Amino acid sequence: MSDPNIPVTEDELHAYVDNELPEDRRAAVEAWLATHADDAAKIAAWRAMGNALHATFDSVADEPVPARLSIDRLSQPSRRWMMGAIAASVLAFAAGGSVGWLAHGTATKPSMFANFTGDALEAHKLYVVEVRHPVDVVGSEKTHLQQWLTKRCGWEVRAPELDSTGLKLVGGRLLPGPTGPASFLMYENASGERFTVYASRADSNATQMRYASNDGNGALFWADRGVGYVVSGGADRDRLEHVARLVYDQNEKVGL
């Protein structure tokens, strides 16, 4: 399996991401990725998804098992205890703010607004703190970045010009979105302030801007022509609205 001319399989791509690929095949896979942009994009998307999952759930996975759920306690269940545990679990699930658990005890599909802002804010928090690898394609390769994301996402991805706000394009990457691929663009000013523009296919032709916030970060969402957009930044809502309006106006101008 050391022949570099052997086509790389899907299983090998997964093994490469999981660091389980045999050493005698790693060089061949890396050479393949250097000349096959679609597979390289898959790797980037899988890694982004893995990083997002780790960022969200690692702290929970590391928590100690509560004493009430110990093997000794579970081996001697009574009906009353079991019903109490079930009720407590449901209450904790609802109180924890899980997406989709709404009033009246009805589990429903999360809204488009919740899906988009949730995914965009997670990606924003994950990548704005990166120093060496905040993006996959740097801003100096803007033309290539736009062409690559346009091909992968299925609509014309344009990186807006935000120079009037002091923001320069850092670059971008491809991410998994709520309904398919998502484009992710990052901007930065001279003081290190970063904003991100996230976009993916939406189930609506047009919606007005709506605001969301989480952990000191703000996001503005809207949809237009079947694409949903989220501009994320810091806690300064006026500043965020100014940047989002520029993005919106430029998309309107070019008819995206």
**What pLDDT, on a 0 to 100 scale, did the predictor assign at position 84?**
54
Alpha-carbon distance of 230 to 117, in angstroms, equals 6
Q: What is the pLDDT of residues 12-51, one digit of tens each?
A: 887 887 778 788 888 888 888 888 888 888 888 878 777 7
The per-residue pLDDT for range 227-249, each reduced to its tens digit, is: 999 999 999 999 999 999 999 99
State the amino acid at position 29 in one-letter form: V
Q: pLDDT category, 62, cuts 50, 70, 90? A: low
More confident position, 117 or 4: 117
**pTM, 2 dp:** 0.58
- Please state the separation of Cα 122 from the chain's center in Å: 6
- pLDDT of 74 over the 90 cut: no
Please report which helix (H) or strand (E) contains residue 12, including its range: helix 10-17
User: What is the length of the chain?
Assistant: 256
What is the average pLDDT across 49-55? 69
- Render pLDDT for 181-203 as a digit per residue (tens, 0 to 9): 999 999 999 999 999 999 999 98
Q: For the purposes of burial, counting CB atoms within 10 Å of the CB of 176, is it exposed (0-12), middle (13-18) or buried (19 or more)?
A: middle
List the beta bridge partners of residue 217. Answer: 214
In the sheet with 194-201, reading across from the earlier edge strand, the strands are 137-138, 168-176, 181-188, 194-201, 227-233, 217-224, 206-214
Cβ–Cβ < 8 Å for 221, 212: yes
CB 55 within 8 A of CB 88: no
Averaged confidence pLDDT in the chain: 80
- Percent of the chain whose predicted confidence (pLDDT) is above 90: 46
Query: What is the dihedral sign for C-alpha 20, 23, 24, 27?
Result: positive
Q: What is the pLDDT of residues 95-114, one digit of tens each?
A: 444 343 334 343 445 688 99
Asked if 167 and 188 touch (Cβ cutoff 8 Å), the reply is yes
pLDDT at 140 over 80: yes
